[in-house]
Structure 1
Amino acid sequence: MFDHVKFGVSDYAASKAFFLKALEPIGVAVVGEGTPTYGVELSPPGKASLCLYQTDEKPAHLHLAFTADNRQQVEAFYRAALEAGAKDNGAPGLRPHYHANYYAAFVIGPDGHNIELVCHKPEA
């Protein structure tokens, strides 16, 4: 549905490092970058992009949910995100109140955003 999502961050270097580390399990890498006020585009090959830029504005907190191909990616994301400095907001596990195979993990990123990785597939 989305081509890209772009939002401001309070610490460009820290946010860039966080998202690269946390989303490495799903193949996210830098695909383009300008000055910090223009920003960086992060994406897995051939997928929608996440774009970050430096701002002094205080944006409202976001809930960003990324798609995983399998539950192992969800678990790897959670570990990587915590190692990158995120705060736990929900360990990897099933969330059957959404649907029977909703397997997700949630963390709070550098700017207080709720970052999620979700797999909708049954366990292999």
Structure 2
Amino acid sequence: MLDHTLLNIPAPRFAEVVTWYTAALAPIGYTIQKEFADTAVGFGPDRTSIVFWLAAKKVPAQHPSAQKDAAAGTEVGEGGKGTVWGAHVAFRAKDRTAVDAFHEEAVKAGGTCNGKPGWRHMYHPKYYAGFVFDPVGNNIEVVDHGVGS
């Protein structure tokens, strides 16, 4: 069983990404529960369940996005606009309505659709999910498994 997940976010874009997640995760009941200045933010349904963290980091020089920045003449780790980390994180929703609301809010807040809310029967008959790339390219999914739906 996982306890929590942390995504590293390019430091120059940290505030922007925190704002995006604040809007995108509100429909599933996740809010900011803990903050460490401009270095880390923890989200969850309450203060006893902080399960999703964002941390401000410089892009490692060996990372492909840092190499792309260098080739474009941008200082490494200081402003990459492309996909930086490329993680996939899935949050469980209480119902399909929450999946739809997440997708709508996440796109409205500046995310990029990576799969409209809908059935993904290839996973199982009640798998309903929506996917959005966050501002730095992480693939964020919200899924309802149909329990009680």
What's the TM-score once normalised by structure 1's chain length?
0.91
- 1:112 maps to 137
- 1:8 maps to 8
- 2:43 maps to 42
Q: In structure 1, what is the Cα distance between the partners aligned to 2:49 and 2:92?
A: 11
Two-structure CA RMSD over aligned residues (Å): 1.6
- Structural mapping, 1:7-26, within 5 Å: 7-10=7-10, 11-26=13-28
Check the 8 A contact 1:74/1:119 in 2, yes or no: yes
- 1:86 maps to 111
Check the 8 A contact 1:67/1:117 in 2, yes or no: yes
Q: Indicate the structure (1 or 2) with the bigger Cα radius of gyration.
A: 2
Instruction: Compare the two structures and name the one with the higher helix fraction.
Output: 2
Number of equivalences: 123
TM superposition shift of 1:60: 3.0
Check the 8 A contact 2:85/2:137 in 1, yes or no: no
Q: Among the aligned pairs, what percent are the same residue?
A: 36
Q: In structure 2, what is the Cα distance between the partners aligned to 1:20 and 1:108?
A: 15
Q: In structure 1, what is the Cα distance between the partners aligned to 2:50 and 2:129?
A: 19
TM superposition shift of 1:20: 1.0
TM superposition shift of 1:2: 2.0
